[in-house]
Amino acid sequence: MLLDRNLHIRAIDTFIDPSVPRERAIITHGHADHARSGHGAVLATPDTIAIMQTRYGVDCAGRFQALDFGVPLLIDDVSITLYPAGHILGSAQVLVEHKGQRVVVTGDYKRLADRTAQPYELVRCDLLVTEATFGLPVFQHPLPQTEIARLLKSVRDNPERSHLVGCYALGKAQRVIALLRDAGWDAPIYLHGAMLKLCGLYEELGVTLGDLRPALDVPRADFAGQIVIAPPSAIRDRWSRRFPDPMVCQASGWMSVKQRARQALVELPLVISDHCDWGELQQTVHETEAATVWVTHGREDALVYWCRQQGLEAQPLHLQRFEDDGGEEAA
Amino acid sequence: MKRFAQLLEVLALTSSRTRKLAALTQYFRDTPDPDRGYGLAVLTGALNFANVKPALLKETVLAEVDATLFAMSYDYVGDLGETIALIWPHHGGTGELPSLTELIDLFNTTSKRDLPKLIGGLLTRAEINERWALVKLATGGLRVGVSARLAKTALAEMSGVELQAIEEVWHGLKVPYGALFDWLDGKTGRPDIDQSARFHPLMLSNPIDEERDLARLVPEDFAAEWKWDGIRVQLVMGAGTVSLFSRTGDDIANAFPDIVDNAQGRAVLDGELLVGQDFDPGSFNDLQQRLNKKVASARHLRESPAFIRVYDLLFDGDVDVRALPWSERRARLEAWFAANPQTRLDLSEVLPFADWDDLARQRRQGADEHGHEGVMIKLRQAPYVPGRPKGYWYKWKRDPNVVDAVLMYAQRGHGRRSSFYSDYTFGVWKGNEIVPIGKAYFGFTDEELKLLDKWIRTHTIGSFGPVREVKKELVFEVAFDSAQESARHKSGVALRFPRISRIRWDKPAAEAATLADMAVFVAAT
């Protein structure tokens, strides 16, 4: 096999998104459960490299090699091409070709339009290695615009409260800010300290986010009617005490399950996901025309079961992963 | 339906009582009749559809969704109704859902054979939150944290009519409560219902202030009774029907057939619901077991028979005697018992006492020897007045027991306290380890809460989800009413009404109580 079940390309001794330091790694995107520091050499998109260096330091790998989308790189007789995955800025799918065999590792991906990430491109292949974070038929994501409209309605209906939106710091935060701007919210958006650097980087890389301010040294009363973006862990902890009567919101695909929102003490759940929902996973499996599907990350069993029903060869990978900070809250 | 779905979502997701109340009030204000009446019925659990059951909904979904994928999904979501709402695969269709009134009518009039088609069609037309509300409506069991009392409180807020007045008419009303809303809107007078066959709001007592009140009150003007450790109930024995109400007017007759089936005569009685053989009250724990069941099991009826210790009479036959003084009501109550022999009701005895010191002595003795909660003191001249009138009834509770326990675990609170560790588990020594004896919420000033929160964060030795385990170093003085044996706690002891009376920053944990110290309190019960 060209690729083994640890996402190791044997012919060129290179791993995709390895969870421990390796000599050679291809990194699909900058989230911590895919991008670790300490690899010898990293091949990734320029944006992903910039994100890794911002998060972990410029020396977080022995050396970096940037590869633009759609440009094949030949190593020995193996060809590597990165295609946009639509998950976050710089996120890529990896196409590995060898002697006419085509393997695609999706990384994390979504197919809905998102101006903070390069739009997903379909890549036909023989073996598809797909994520399945939301791989159950109960996950049917609504349009993010309708969720943002609910947030803005709540802000209008509760002018005396501040809205704290729990968002993962890389990707989700910038997408929510962009969605708010596109919905006409021109007011300053306040940020938790953990968001500042990455929002700055997105701006540098050409994603405009409008007037962003640190949620520091602002009189308590001035937060009424305002929107504040913070990591999920901060919105229910001591940090949140500076806001007047905060409305706890959270932007995540998990928020469609009310029981989960309740457990997390979320008052306004926003179902905004950077992953495919069940329908998009099915659509992708069909459209890639892959005969073999490996499923990783998430609810693998349901998607494997469904693929086999379609007459495809399908396996769960059960990869060991380190949870990204915030765990499921990030999705 | 849209408005009702929005209401349910707010109710499900906010833990704040104030916000739930505001949402309910707004719903009742903005929603036309009869929709709001049906909404009220759904919220208070007054509706039940003969043919629309969870199994039927599941069957409807399984016609459209693979059974294995459904099982995997249900396993993940954990709630059948929510799984159905989320997994329904068809969307779109024409126009808005029918109104709540029309929906209820459809559920009641559609034949069993056609129901799956009806429900499937509705699910397809509904938006996601409506779909959730629709399934909740169809299957009952809303679980959105709204009691009937909260709904009635919202009606009071909406109309300015007192909650008590609403509770007075409540049990004579019929869905969709047209007469109620007409009255609340000021269009008509109060609904006319049979006075002797409904719930009457209870008369409540005030705690006695030993220093101020006892010096002022004349012992001869008062009668005393034991304060029983059960729950306050009202037994309404109308013509042909017997109802049993909790103090908030919830009908609990189904859980206590042993009482309602055996009551003889006509009256409205006020008393304490207790369980135990031969009128000998068992522990509150035994009663709790029965209260937890909507319908009593045969074993419960046999092992924990219920009875009511009666202490007042509101209606003698169908004559309203509430305006009479206590002494006359008591005389009538004794005469009524003589004329209507009972097997599940008995009279609460009146305690003779010489003066307040004598009663204080009896109160202490009753607590030590029989575990009585204290005594009630009632003005002999007092009429029966609903609410908590001043100067008529006093409760004189036993002094609380106190124990020094060690903080073990802390958990974050809800709402305003969601960023504070405000929920505590504490324990006592058993040999070299500390075993838990109870749990209590924060009961201090904001300043103390902040200090405590900080202490917990700096002394954490482990976390399990929302719970932190702390170093066993901080001592709480815990007050409680009584202690009981409990198989559920590792310590074998459970406290009743524990509250944290003081933080003992000064006291070393080694000097906290031991399990052996607790045995004294258990023995007294």
Task: Between A323 and A117, name the one with better pLDDT.
Answer: A117
Q: DSSP alpha helices (H): ranges in chain A?
A: 46-56, 144-157, 172-182, 193-204, 232-235, 258-263, 278-288, 300-309
Instruction: Write down which residue in B363, B393, B423 finishes a domain.
Output: B393
pLDDT at A331 over 60: no
Residues of B in contact with A237 (CB under 8 A): 419
Q: Does A143 touch chain B (CB under 8 A)?
A: no
| pLDDT tens, residue by residue, A217-264 | 888 888 999 999 999 888 878 888 888 889 999 999 999 998 888 878
pLDDT at A322 over 60: no
B308 and B425 in a single domain? The answer is: no
Give residue B50's pLDDT. Answer: 83
B236 and B371 in a single domain? The answer is: yes
Quote the mean pLDDT of chain A: 93
Residue count of chain A, please give it. Answer: 331
Give residue B196's pLDDT. Answer: 64
B249 and B348 in a single domain? The answer is: yes
Give residue A217's pLDDT. Answer: 82
d(CA A72, CA B154): 67
B459 and B319 in a single domain? The answer is: no
Q: Which residues partner with B441 through β-bridges? A: B423
Domain tally for chain B?
A: 2
B374 and B449 in a single domain? The answer is: no
B297 and B378 in a single domain? The answer is: yes
d(CA B37, CA B28): 8
Instruction: Write down which residue in B360, B393, B426 finishes a domain.
Output: B393
Q: Which B residues in the span 95-154 are in contact with A, Cβ-Cβ below 8 Å?
A: 128, 132
Q: What is the DSSP secondary structure assignment for residue B257, as one 8-state letter?
A: H
B411 and B353 in a single domain? The answer is: no
Distance from the Cα of A261 to chain B's closest Cα (Å) equals 8
At residue A172, φ and ψ (nearest 5 deg) are -60, -45
B260 and B364 in a single domain? The answer is: yes
pTM value?
Answer: 0.75
Catalytic site includes residue B430:
no
**Region of residue A307 (left: phi > 0; alpha: psi -120 to 50; beta: else):** alpha
At residue A113, φ and ψ (nearest 5 deg) are -65, 145
Give residue B165's pLDDT. Answer: 86
Q: Percent of chain A scored above 70 by pLDDT? A: 96
| pLDDT tens, residue by residue, A42-84 | 999 999 999 999 999 999 999 999 999 999 999 999 999 999 9
In a domain, B2, yes or no: no
Banded model confidence at residue A324, pLDDT cuts 50, 70, 90 = very low
In a domain, B219, yes or no: yes
In a domain, B466, yes or no: yes
Binned average pLDDT, 10 residues per bin, chain B of 525 residues: 92 90 96 95 87 90 96 90 94 84 93 92 90 88 82 95 87 88 93 75 91 92 94 90 86 91 94 94 83 84 94 93 96 96 95 95 88 92 91 90 92 71 91 91 77 90 84 92 80 87 88 87 68
Give residue A298's pLDDT. Answer: 80
B221 and B338 in a single domain? The answer is: yes
Give residue A23's pLDDT. Answer: 97
B477 and B448 in a single domain? The answer is: yes
In a domain, B135, yes or no: no
In a domain, B5, yes or no: no
Q: Which residues partner with B31 through β-bridges? A: none
Instruction: Write down which residue in B332, B359, B393 finishes a domain.
Output: B393
pLDDT at A323 over 60: no
Distance from the Cα of B87 to chain A's closest Cα (Å) equals 4
Banded model confidence at residue A328, pLDDT cuts 50, 70, 90 = very low
Q: Which residues partner with A98 through β-bridges? A: A101
Contact B419 A265 (CB under 8 A): no
Which of A134, A136, A249, A305 to mutate against chain B (most B CBs within 10 Å)?
A136
Residues of B in contact with A261 (CB under 8 A): 13
B253 and B277 in a single domain? The answer is: yes
B246 and B368 in a single domain? The answer is: yes
The token duo for B102 is 């029309």
Domains of chain A: 8-138+274-330 (3.60.15.10), 144-270 (3.40.50.12650)
Contact B73 A262 (CB under 8 A): no
In a domain, B86, yes or no: no
Domain that holds residue B262: 206-393
Place of tokens 């039940």: B48
